[in-house]
Chain A
Amino acid sequence: MLWYRSWLETRWRFLIGLAVLMCAAAGIVLLWPKVVELLPVASNLQVSGRIGKQIRESVELQREYPSYIWSQWFGKNLTNMGTMFAALLGTGGLLSQRSGGLFMLSLPVSRKRLIWTQAATGLAELFVLVLVPSLLIPLLSPAVGKSYGWGDVLVHSACFFVVVAVFFSLASLLSTIFSDVWRPLLLAIAVASAMWYLELFALPRPHYGIFRVMSAETWFRNGQLPWQGLLASAAASAAMLYGAAVSIIRRDF
């Protein structure tokens, strides 16, 4: 029943996220022929500097279907929207619950169980949110005369989930500090944006950035899983969820 309650609390965020991401995934596949048409124009772009280099790299990635999918879906759309929906799913909980908070606390359930159920429900939803739209890609690829490996989808989705869970956990932790849904959401997105900016423009060795691990770039480029990044992300998520549980257990309501 606690699962059911957690589901009721997050279902609209989850369902909206799922619909948006599925549309985005389908759109990326179906736009491939248009991208092929535009490639000659994009190749003539003359931009200098670090941004220019990144644009040229990005254009190069669009030449092949697998690299196009990786860069557009796992590297951009899913990263941006997935991070936002992860933060959105992580918000809420006992503190910001508009109704039923005291009622929930009056039930014979420990706070530890409440928060773990909520976290587990959110993480399960996040996993579905990452996996199901990604599975649309190999499913729809024949429609544009291409194919994309199911195995690649599973590896990229798994890596993505492990890393994006960091932002879910951050929002969960912030939700035990602030009593509304907006501050945890905005702060988590602000942290993600700051990390993205650092990774793109300021980090001396961007290959180690969190978003590179999230898109499993090493798997795409040379078939190696970013184990260190994955383990560090999982540890960060676990620490933040533990912090959220401790915060809720100690709090007066």
Chain B
Amino acid sequence: MTEPPIVETTELRKSYGALEALRGLNLRVPAGSIYGFLGRNGAGKTTTLKILLGMVRPTGGNARVFGLDADAPETSVAIRRRTGFVSEDKDLFDTMTVEEIVRFTAAFYPRWRSDLEQRYLRKFELPAEKKVKDLSRGMRTKVALLLALSRGADLLILDEPTSGLDPAIVEEVLQAIVAHVASEEMTVFFSSHQIAEVDQIADRVTIIDGGRGVVEGAIEDLRENYRRIHLVFDGEAPKTAFRAPGIVRTRRKGRTLSVLLSAGTERVIEEARALNPVSVDVIPVTLKEIFLETVTKED
């Protein structure tokens, strides 16, 4: 029997007036995964995360976390009791000291882990007496992460956790997340537009574009299944539409035809050979290429 997903959205929609932020998003985040939610700025990532936390109300479809309705006020509180969150702006109470905000937050969580709190205070070298407003962006991120990780949460929702940080702190933050997940049983769902960090720590990913999920799967599977077939012709590349399933995008430029596919490499090669190309190369693709091919518009 398959375990129920920790996060599940079905045909999730959100409109702000005429602007459709989400247009039927379907997500399934399995328990225990580090799930990357990749998309360009304005793709609908933050709106999705806010719906999961009850900060934004959907206009259609539904969102469930731990099997609970994210839109109902009572269940939303229960969801937040089991969820750690780091917002994109690392929004915290600026006038509190690090120690005060830790004490303040701990009071809301019966499963607060003082051991983890102490561990991360030491690991991140956070100045307990310093006010949050006087901290650097990197330090702020670490405080936000400490508060999220020490809650004894089952789910960690991170909205662009490394945005605006220097590479050394990005690495430190990512390592802390991975190490935490390795030692505690939890699920991480994080949004990002940094492909490298999703590639580095996530085991599953959804690429969102224009409010819809355009690619979903385990990163290993994507690497395994996605291929680019590069065809070179004697003269102008033919205008052709491949019939094989799994074609993501075809680009034609001069004598070359480049086909990105998500499955069925053999069938596409078969079709391609019928066009009499001079050469056929099958090339593995990176997550970055998949992302760019799926979220950029056709020329």
Contacts and interface: CB of A to CB of B under 8 A. Distances in A.
A253 B46 CA distance: 11
Nearest to B147: A103
Contacts of A106: 53, 55, 80, 83, 85, 87
Contact of B108 (A98, A101, A109, A253): A109
B81 interface: yes
A111 B73 contact: yes
Nearest to B103: A1
A77 to B, nearest CB: 31
B94 A107 contact: no
Contacts of A252: 16, 50, 55-57
A172 B87 CA distance: 26
A108 B108 contact: yes
Contacts of B114: none
Nearest to B105: A107
Interface string A91-134: 00000001111110111111110000000000000000000000
Interface in B25-81: 50, 53-57, 73-74, 76-78, 80-81
Contact of A103 (B74, B76, B91, B95): B91
Interface in B93-115: 93-96, 104-105, 107-109
B92 A253 contact: no
B56 A101 contact: no
Contacts of B107: 1
B119 interface: no
Interface residues of A, number: 22
A102 B108 contact: no
B50 A253 contact: yes
Contacts of B57: 250, 252
Nearest to B92: A103
Which of A102, A103, A107, A253 has the most CB atoms of chain B within a 10 A radius of its CB? A103
Given A105-B53, A106-B87, A8 B95 contact: yes
A108 B94 contact: no
A103 to B, nearest CB: 5
A105 B16 CA distance: 20
Contacts of B85: 106
Contacts of B92: 99-100, 103
Contacts of A207: none
A99 B87 contact: no
A249 interface: yes
Interface in A218-253: 249-250, 252-253
B220 interface: no
B293 interface: no
Nearest to B87: A102
A5 B81 contact: no
A165 B149 CA distance: 41
Given A100-B93, A103-B87, A103-B92, A110 B73 contact: yes
B65 to A, nearest CB: 13
Contacts of B76: 110
B221 interface: no
A103 B93 contact: yes
B133 interface: yes
A197 interface: no
Contacts of B105: 107
B80 A107 contact: yes
Contacts of A111: 73
A18 to B, nearest CB: 20
A7 to B, nearest CB: 12
B77 A109 contact: yes
B66 to A, nearest CB: 13
B184 interface: no
Contact of A108 (B80, B96, B132): B80
A108 B77 contact: yes
Contacts of A182: none
B89 interface: yes
A249 B53 CA distance: 14
Contacts of B94: 98-100
Contacts of B54: 105
A4 interface: yes
A106 B76 CA distance: 10
11 contacts: A1-B104, A8-B96, A102-B55, A102-B89, A103-B93, A105-B53, A105-B54, A106-B83, A108-B80, A110-B76, A253-B56
Interface of B: 16, 50, 53-57, 73-74, 76-78, 80-81, 83, 85, 87, 89, 91-96, 104-105, 107-109, 132-133
Interface of A: 1, 4-5, 8, 98-103, 105-112, 249-250, 252-253
